[in-house]
A and B are shown apart, each in its own frame.
Chain A
């Protein structure tokens, strides 16, 4: 069983929901990321989504765009993101790591080389924002052959047909984009999410993690009541942005936020 599958299974047994932080690898600097990943695990997160910096992050709001820009200014890349994952794995063999990013860096590396490199880095899942299943079968097959879960997105306007398509194409979990918009947008409607998740659940047994628009303990708690996992990204990265002259403070504030979210979700 994949690390992601067993993580969600364990959580389900205890009636808890997955807390999934998203951070951009190498933001604000390459040395910041691995210690933060370990500290996030200490704070009670279940899965880590590690963003691959990209020059043109079309589905992201300004906060994550700037995170990519800061990381790229330090010459971060897909290759160096994988190195960060390897470094993390040296002292943590249990927490799943999901790479999240855009297709072009993977295209540039080549699908097979990427799949091999991801396997060497002991990556658990790969979510490629601009690679829908229609175009993604070749890459997904290479990942699956190496026990890496290809993770796909669903959105508020996804039809039943598309839910079924993701159920067949994806594994690990489905990432539900909770609103029409970019990451970090501010108009999350819990009732809409709840209704949509019911529709999705009718067609898939995969766990559903909900992201885009989760900002604080309150929204995370509300989402945890309806989904299997809560993804939080822009709100964490905002802490980095607010403390660019003081990375230790950023680290501290991210952990504080995650601790408060964990508590709220478990209540």
Chain B
């Protein structure tokens, strides 16, 4: 009768996905990290310190906001927004960096590195590094440095060194490659804070555990507001950390449907997209087996999305597993549709979402009208749109 979800196994496998696929030099630090993580995640003192930081530094719990006007307008489900955009630094990313940085401190590491796409994880890492007085280096694709210059400036203000990565497609995957190269060179004093639920074990499980505060709060808040569980959850998926953070505490609640929204870029049919779960194939990249965007020869294909944070050819291995088992459904939203989601939330509710989160908004606009008025839909509003003002203004032909 005990069929509770308990992935991954002790070697980090979610069925055929996940695992540890790294060069030998990284095996000892990964083992060290795993041991430290297993020890502290069950240590009441560590948990108390983490909870304190989440409350007073991050500003948790984040509200579950009933978007009444938008719900009425769409004429279906009652839409609730999990307001991760209201966290310190403006997105869900800080939930994880706070946790990993506390771990780094306990492990005696003095130097923090991170990769970043949209810059949200980079900012969240630079923030916590500043607070703890740790050296911080953030790797960011040169293309992303250009399109997210505001976040680059924030990271520099916070004292981080931002390295623009010029290799490959100059986006998030190349930043990850470069961070791995840094880690392999500086394993003794360096802690690599991965920002998403990818990478070698224990990262996918560890980042999920730190992000699952989103779903735990949402569950409690939803029951408080509506008297019952939600009917559906919607979240955008790049690597998939905000989505897994929302989904994970609901996995055993079979009545709750889960929708992960990938970036379709110009449309999945055009090949110019970032939707490995919808249109990719299983493979191995960045330390784990998962769905990837690669060609028949196994070479990674360049991805495309209007949002830098979703512009990644892989996805967390747990999402691959949830897809194969049918527990979650993965859909995709084009750049154009995401913009509709962006404008809709901005004008209907006075909340400007990040372009990443706008993909979730756009899918909810399709889903909500198919649901009844007494049903509840929770969307993870994973980040705020301030960082995207330049991109949006440029699209509208406005010079800021």
Interface residues of A (CB under 8 A from B): 53-59, 61-62, 65, 69, 72, 77-79, 102-109, 129-132, 134-135, 152-159, 162, 177, 180-182, 185
Contact = CB atoms under 8 A, between A and B. Distances in A.
Of A58, A78, A157, most B-chain CB atoms within 10 Å: A58
A107 B297 contact: no
Contact of B25 (A56, A104, A157): A157
B116 to A, nearest CB: 17
Given A56-B173, A157-B28, 8 more contacts: A56-B168, A61-B181, A77-B297, A77-B299, A132-B20, A135-B20, A155-B23, A180-B185
B24 A56 contact: no
Interface in B164-210: 167-168, 173-174, 177, 180-181, 184-188
A181 B187 CA distance: 9
Q: Tell me the dominant secondary structure on chain A's binding face.
A: loop
Contact of B167 (A65, A152, A162): A65
Nearest to B28: A157
Contacts of B21: 103, 130-132, 135
Bin the interface of chain B by size.
35 or more
B24 A134 contact: no
Which of B185, B188, B300 lies at the interface centre, i.e. has the most chain A CB atoms within 10 A of its CB? Answer: B185
A182 B24 CA distance: 12
A121 to B, nearest CB: 16
Nearest to B32: A157
B17 to A, nearest CB: 12
A102 B174 CA distance: 16
Nearest to A65: B167
Q: Which 10 pairs show the lowest CB-CB distances between chains A and B? A: A108-B298, A105-B298, A77-B297, A153-B24, A155-B25, A181-B185, A104-B298, A59-B23, A55-B300, A55-B299
The SS class assigned to the B binding surface is mixed
Given A132-B21, A134-B20, A162-B24, A185 B185 contact: yes
Contact of A182 (B185, B284, B286, B292): B185
A131 B298 CA distance: 15
A62 B177 CA distance: 11
Given A107-B283, A108-B283, A181-B184, A55 B24 contact: no
A79 B298 CA distance: 11
- Report which residue of A57, A155, A156, A185 has the largest number of chain B beta carbons within 10 angstroms of its beta carbon: A155
A209 to B, nearest CB: 14
A254 B292 CA distance: 37
B177 A58 contact: yes
A107 B282 contact: yes
Nearest to B166: A62
